[in-house]
A and B are shown apart, each in its own frame.
Chain A
Amino acid sequence: DQQVKQNSPSLSVQEGRISILNCDYTNSMFDYFLWYKKYPAEGPTFLISISSIKDKNEDGRFTVFLNKSAKHLSLHIVPSQPGDSAVYFCAASATGGAQKLVFGQGTRLTINP
């Protein structure tokens, strides 16, 4: 039962353009969402998070949008840079529980020069 889904295994974007990564979830108890970036042979690096009381959170080039009714969130990166090439994971947790994160399968983002 995949509660968090990233339906695009890969995405290729031109440098300087906007990268949009999508994530869907099924568990209505989830109320805290995070995006992580991962390079090979390294641990995930926290990027940005959003609580369900908000629908948008911004940090520099990264913006996360949350649509609770659609159970959908997205990460926008603008402008995209070559160093953004990595695997991106979205994760969700239910604050009533133990804060364990449920991860999607990841989307490999490639930024082309």
Chain B
Amino acid sequence: NAGVMQNPRHLVRRRGQEARLRCSPMKGHSHVYWYRQLPEEGLKFMVYLQKENIIDESGMPKERFSAEFPKEGPSILRIQQVVRGDSAAYFCASSPRTPGEQYFGPGTRLTVT
């Protein structure tokens, strides 16, 4: 059973460009979470999705950030018009049930130049 897959692993964007981060959950997992880790900090929750539904987006910045988990295909975290402060590691996690342990992918390291 493959683990949580994230791509790309590294992404460099210039200020003002768009960043699209993809996450494929573990097989059989229908719960997907996105977290962000800024340098020297712990992980911070961003959004929780199930197939075709956003369940909790309380950790998402109000503007420029959006997430989806379509019926087919990976979950996507989209950041429009990136700024330097968006530079961070973005981790996706999946879980087969709630409550339950969440299994994390390797992360996407976004660098905004």
Contacts and interface: CB of A to CB of B under 8 A. Distances in A.
Nearest to B44: A103
A103 B42 contact: yes
B61 to A, nearest CB: 16
A89 B107 contact: no
A46 B103 contact: yes
A44 B11 CA distance: 20
B102 A46 contact: yes
Contacts of A97: 56
B39 interface: no
Contacts of B99: 32, 51, 93, 95, 99
B91 A101 contact: no
Q: Which 5 A-B pairs have the closest CB atoms?
A: A98-B56, A43-B104, A103-B42, A100-B45, A99-B98
B41 interface: yes
Interface of B: 4, 6, 31, 33, 35, 41-45, 48, 55-56, 58-59, 91, 93, 95, 98-107, 109
Contacts of A95: 98-99
7 contacts: A41-B109, A46-B103, A98-B55, A98-B56, A99-B99, A100-B59, A101-B35
Given A46-B103, A49-B101, A97-B56, A103 B95 contact: no
B105 A43 contact: yes
A89 B91 contact: no
A18 to B, nearest CB: 24
Interface string A77-113: 0000000000001010101011111111110000000
